[in-house]
Amino acid sequence: MIYYNKTTQETLDAHQVSMNGLSTEGVRSRQQQYGFNELQEGKRKTIVQLFFEQFKDFLVIILLIAAIISGFLGEFESTIVILVVVILNAILGTVQHLKAEKSLDSLKAMAAPIAKVLRNGQVVEIPSREVVVGDILQLDAGDFISADGRVLQSYSLQINESSLTGESLPIEKMTDAINEDEVGIGDQKNMVFSGTFVTNGRGTILVTSIGMQTEIGKIANLLDSAKEKKTPLQVSLDHFGKRLAFAIIVICIVIFALDLFRGRELVDSFMFAVSLAVAAIPEALSSIVTIVLAFGTQKMAKENAIVRKLHAVESLGGISVICSDKTGTLTQNKMTVQKVYIDKREIPHNELELNNELQNKLLVMSLLCNDSVTADEKEIGDPTEVALVNFGKVYGLDELVVRAQFKRIGEVPFDSNRKLMSTVNQFGDKTYMITKGAVDVLLSRIIKIETSNGIVEATEQQFEQIRNANQSLSEQGLRILAFAYKELSPKQQIDMNDEQDFVFVGLVAMMDPPRNESKQAVADCISAGIKPVMITGDHKITAAAIAKQIGILNDPSEAIEGREIEKLTDEQLKAKVENISVYARVSPEHKIRIVKAWQEKGNIVAMTGDGVNDGPALKQADIGVAMGITGTEVAKDASSMILTDDNFSTIVKAVSNGRSIYNNIKNSIKFLLSGNTGAILVVLFATLFALPAPFAPVHLLFINLLTDSLPAIAIGLEPHNKKVMKDSPRNIKEPLLNKSFTTQVGLEGLLIAAVTVIAFQIGLSTGDSVIASTMAFATLCLSRLFHGFSCRSKESIFKIGLFTNKTTWLAFIMGAILLHVVLLVPALMDIFEVAVLTGMQLMTIYGLAFLSFAIIQLCKLIFIRK
């Protein structure tokens, strides 16, 4: 069917006047006027901006102030050590962000690279970024559309708008005028939109909008209203960091004042206080978390999940709701024949018998009354027709071979008003019209029915059986086409008036089927305490059928449509949201409301999607998950994570990894805080009892730089534990640093402090304060290295395996070697202010350090078993 706009020629003539000789500068001017560059390029931060953003952490600011003061006092060694730690942390964060963005760039393939444009009277190919308002675009089957435009000519032009509407079925386009202000995107039959693609036919369009003025751009503007949020761990650590810094500063001021009161030199007292602050403030906390997350993201990338926002990894472990788009996410985004109704039988698509004449006839007819082609792994044509071609290939029938055998000699193209398509094919010396179309339309034109016993006159009872079969298939979410035929006289010319008096053959039912792995992925979510929710722009019946197949929907009452959401206030939706599993025919605004409703009930929400219409909800969600293959650029840019395989089950793996990573981060933090607590308690003990300083400033800096970071990183790399998916999502209202956690930190820190004080007292008994501080320093270092093994898990080291994490052994060995280099190499002994120790004193240090480890392991064996 050809649609032609009466004003097309005038439009083309005017276009030649306005576009002839348009310079490169003119193109750029028009692009800038319509916001093209803002949409295409985005606003990316420079490396310098990213680097300096790493210094916003409150603890880092405190340390920078300490470094500056140390420099003014001439203690450049301390200044350098502090700056090295802080700068390394900033570099790590910057590099990881850039790596994630680089991975994202390699996935961006949504924009059409080439556009066919009418310039100077000729059709030329130009980069899609050079398209401007006023251009005339030529569209053919398979083309992506790079701008919004009005249809001037349509030759059976059909457009797939699933990236905008979520509807997988194509929309036929024509030139009939429609008021765009009163209809939705899918109803604008005379408009095409950027980011969609041509599935069938060809056409000519006049470009009316580019860049931010397109429908893509309008939806992208919604992203500004969905603000990005800090993850629960970020919020917890920010609050804790400020409180900890304040407490440590107060302690350091008290110790500084007591030292001055006892007659110690001002500079010495100040540097000791600064060194204690540096040792006590876990400035490595931020860098350790960053490193653990970075390693976690690398592992996840190997499993097809690219994390764009580093701190989003820990939120994955807390996800309690996954709101998933249907088309292309839970389904294959590919129409596939599921069942056939023929001769009063409903037959699965893979159980046809080609030696059955009637069944074979239906299959051949579905290939003949069909314009789609599949070749070289490319599928061109209407998705429903492609499904019929693929159906034939299941039985070894090639559409081109069949069409060559039964040549087409006439046709009446599909018309959305008629809802029918007819072809005339030559079968030997006979000529037949084959027609397919909507069941209700075609049934009204049937006079006979072909059965296994031959052709019989159609009766009302037979019509009722066909209608019941159609109803049954529809309730399964299937799209049904009816097939019929009639014999024509040779060389008979046909038109729409000939589409009547048919012989009914059968029904073919198809759908966009679920991915093979979706059902298991949904089951894994449910067993892990995660609520899967389907949100789609598709029809309610179709969505409910898919959701029921994969286990999301149990009760039909749990499925509603967008128009029902519009009748609910935010409070009503919030009250009802937990009882709804499927949302159909929803708009971008509906998706945001649904996500917010779950969030307001205290849930961490993941939203998956691939279309432009998913972008705002992806950004609103705690974790936005975009599809890497079928996903639009807007969806990817709005997301926290991108799936390179578009596989829903990859999300479940990511959640599992997120839970393990969160546990590892928690254990690393426990290691840092308990060790620092031990150091503070030792200093407080010495200060309160007027004892000599247990540590020199250089001791504290050594501990901070070497025995903090290495074991903490090793703990963060603890292998994945599959048991984490047997637990429910953690309560996001419960902070990381809760009562139980802080109690463990306090008790373990007290134990480390106790063995260190014992070593210090043994050293003081020799009458030499340098030996005492050396023994305290060595015991604290070594006990913290042993403590790294204890912090790997809440279970005993013997339960999880002594050698399952080789990096903890590497950290222990490196730390122990560096400690002994300081203790035993004469050239370093003066620099690090340590004394020569006897063999017995070294053995005492080893024994006390191991004692703290042994006590903790014994407690775990006793209490965890209970």
How does residue 448 score in pLDDT terms, banded at 50, 70 and 90? very high
What does the alpha-carbon distance between residue 710 and residue 671 come to, in Å, rounded to a whole number? Answer: 11
Handedness of CA 704, 706, 708, 713 (dihedral sign): positive
Spell out the residues 6+ positions from residue 69 whose beta carbon is closer than 8 angstroms to its own: 270, 274
* Tens-digit pLDDT profile for residues 232-263: 566 666 677 677 777 777 877 887 787 777 77
Question: In terms of pLDDT, which residue wins out, 184 or 682?
Answer: 682
Residue 422, strand partner residues: 412, 435
CB 93 within 8 A of CB 322: no
Q: How far is CA 454 from CA 313, 449, 457, in A?
A: 65, 8, 10
Q: Which amino acid is at 142?
A: G
Contacts of range 367-371, beta carbons closer than 8 Å, 24 or more positions apart: 367/392, 367/397, 367/399, 367/402, 367/403, 368/402, 368/403, 368/406, 368/408, 368/423, 368/425, 368/434, 369/421, 369/422, 369/423, 369/434, 369/435, 369/436, 369/483, 370/399, 371/156, 371/200
The first and second tokens of residue 828, run together, are 């370093």
8 Å CB contact between 54 and 93 = yes
The one-letter code for the residue type at 696 is A
Q: How many CB atoms lie within 10 A of CB 32?
A: 12
- What's the fold here for domain 2-33+112-145+147-209? 2.70.150
> Which residues lie across from 654 on neighbouring strands?
none
Contact residues for 679 (Cβ-Cβ < 8 A; gap 6+) = 276, 279, 280, 695, 700, 703, 753, 780
Which position has the higher pLDDT, 214 or 221?
A: 214
CATH 3.40.1110.10, the chain: domain bounds: 336-509
- pLDDT given for residue 639 in this prediction: 83
CA distances for 497 relative to 66, 111, 503, 716, 759, angstroms? 90, 43, 16, 74, 104
Tens of pLDDT along 395-428? Answer: 999 999 999 999 999 988 887 778 899 999 999 9
Domain 336-509 bears CATH identifier 1.20.1050.140: no
List, by residue range, all CATH 1.20.1110.10 domains of the chain: 234-283+674-865
Across the chain, mean pLDDT equals: 80
- Phi and psi, residue 69, nearest 5°: -65, -40
296 sits in which H/E element = helix 284-302
**Residue scoring higher pLDDT (245 or 533):** 533
Q: How far apart are CA 665 and CA 233, in angstroms?
A: 10
Query: On the CB side of 157, how many CA atoms lie within 13 Å of its CA?
Result: 28
Fold of 234-283+674-865: Calcium-transporting ATPase, transmembrane domain (1.20.1110)
Of the given ranges (383-387, 688-692, 743-747), which has the lowest mean pLDDT? 688-692
Beta bridge partners of 307: 641
Give 763 or 39, the one with higher predicted confidence. 763
Segment 118-132, tens digit of pLDDT: 877 777 877 777 888
> What is the crossing angle of helices 284-302 and 232-261, to 10°?
150
Name the β-bridge partners of 346: 341
- C-alpha span between 757 and 772 (Å, rounded): 10
Per DSSP, which regions of 18-107 are E strands? none
pLDDT in tens, 566-592: 999 999 999 999 999 999 988 878 889
pLDDT at residue 39 is higher than 60: no
Average pLDDT over residues 67-85: 68
Q: What is the DSSP letter of 133?
A: T
**DSSP per residue, 666-680:** HHHHHHHHHHHHHHH
| CATH dotted code for 315-332+515-653 | 3.40.50.1000
Name the strand (E) or helix (H) holding 437: strand 430-437
| Over residues 719-734, mean pLDDT | 78
What is the average pLDDT across 227-234?
Answer: 56
Q: Which tokens sit at 155?
A: 């030759």
Give the side-chain half-sphere CA count within 13 A for 849.
24
Helix (H) or strand (E) segment spanning residue 156: strand 148-160
Mean pLDDT, residues 140-153 taken together: 82
Say whether pLDDT at 30 is over 70.
Answer: no
- Inform me whether the pLDDT recorded for 629 exceeds 50: yes
524 C-beta neighbours (distance < 10 Å), count: 19
What pLDDT is recorded for position 128?
74
pLDDT range class, residue 24, cuts 50, 70, 90: very low
Q: What is the mean pLDDT of residues 793-815?
A: 89
Q: Which residues are catalytic?
A: 325
Q: In the prediction, which pLDDT does 224 show?
A: 52
C-alpha neighbours within 13 Å on the C-beta side of residue 660: 20
- Say if residue 757's pLDDT is above 60: yes
Q: Using the predicted structure, report yes or no on whether residue 387 has a pLDDT greater than 90.
A: yes
Q: How confident is the model over 169-203, as pLDDT tens digits?
A: 678 887 754 444 444 454 577 888 887 878 777 78
Task: Give dist(CA 727, CA 504) in Å, integer.
Answer: 56
- Who wins on pLDDT, 506 or 298? 506
Looking at residue 106, what is its pLDDT? Answer: 44
Sign of CA dihedral 145, 151, 153, 157: positive
Round to whole Å and give the CA distance between 328 and 615: 15
